[in-house]
Amino acid sequence: MNFEAIKSIYVFEMARLRRTLLQSVISPVITTSLYFIVFGTAIGSRIQTVEGVSYGSFITPGLIMLTLLTQCISNGSIGIYFPKFTGTIYEILSAPVAMTEIIVGYVGAAATKGLIIGLIILATASFFVDIHIAHPFMMVLFLVLTAVTFSMFGFIIGIWAKNFEQLNVIPMLVVPPLTFLGGSFYSINMLPPFWQTVSHFNPVLYLVSGFRWSFYEIADVNPMVSLGMITLFLVICLSILGWIFKTGYRLRN
């Protein structure tokens, strides 16, 4: 194991976070605060409670997930896409580094950034609404698994993307609708039966539901099913990465 290399990539990527502090940290915090003001305070004050929890508190886990997914995917994809774009990737590809070490470095850094931002948003939320975490261990587990899985997903996008448009299409066009329709702002029990069934095909539903359960013990699907689904996504991403590195897809051809 080339630990020096993992450390170098990780530190290098984290340094990018420091350089882009404004964009990476401040902007999600401001966006989330706006959600709380609009949905939590302005509109939410007219909604009484959702399954016994105040609306502002109810949406907090969903908002954290929304930011976590977006951040992990963008950080994971930019981290590997940018060297590919500038050409500096030659160095990593010609270094005595195994592909697994490259992933651990990049995905580790992207997930760390996502987690930091997620926790900052949790802290921000606590200024606006009451937060109660019923299962702290499960909360952290959901958070970490999601961060790692979606950073890997971002990494895959970064390797696949041939231009900036392709790079942004998933975090900009796919993730927000899935998150909004995945029960971030409502419980799917509020939906007509047909749309409840449709929602079960939305992977984000499982993430949000499980994560919310760790806070308030209310869930759209069984938390163990949520955990199983996240693990399944993780395994899918790992398999795709395994295939990419075996074949050198878009890296060594």
Binding site for other proteins (CB under 8 A): 2-5, 7-9, 11-12, 15, 19, 83, 86-88, 90-98, 248, 252-253
In three-state secondary structure terms, 53 is strand
Minimum CB–partner distance for residue 65 and other proteins (Å): 30
Minimum CB–partner distance for residue 173 and other proteins (Å): 28
**55-86 vs 203-216: helix crossing angle, rounded to 10:** 130
Cβ nearer to other proteins, comparing 3 with 201: 3
Kindly state the tokens that stand for 137: 């261990």
Per the listing, tokens 């886990």 go with 61
Cβ nearer to other proteins, comparing 93 with 225: 93
Cβ nearer to other proteins, comparing 93 with 174: 93
Taking residue 82's Cβ as centre, other Cβ atoms within 10 Å add up to 14
Cβ nearer to other proteins, comparing 101 with 220: 101
Minimum CB–partner distance for residue 24 and other proteins (Å): 14
Cβ nearer to other proteins, comparing 89 with 234: 89
Minimum CB–partner distance for residue 22 and other proteins (Å): 14
Minimum CB–partner distance for residue 82 and other proteins (Å): 8
What lies within 8 Å, CB to CB, of 190 at 6+ separation is 50
**203-216 vs 223-247: helix crossing angle, rounded to 10:** 130
Largest separation between any pair of C-alpha atoms in the chain = 60
What lies within 8 Å, CB to CB, of 31 at 6+ separation is 67
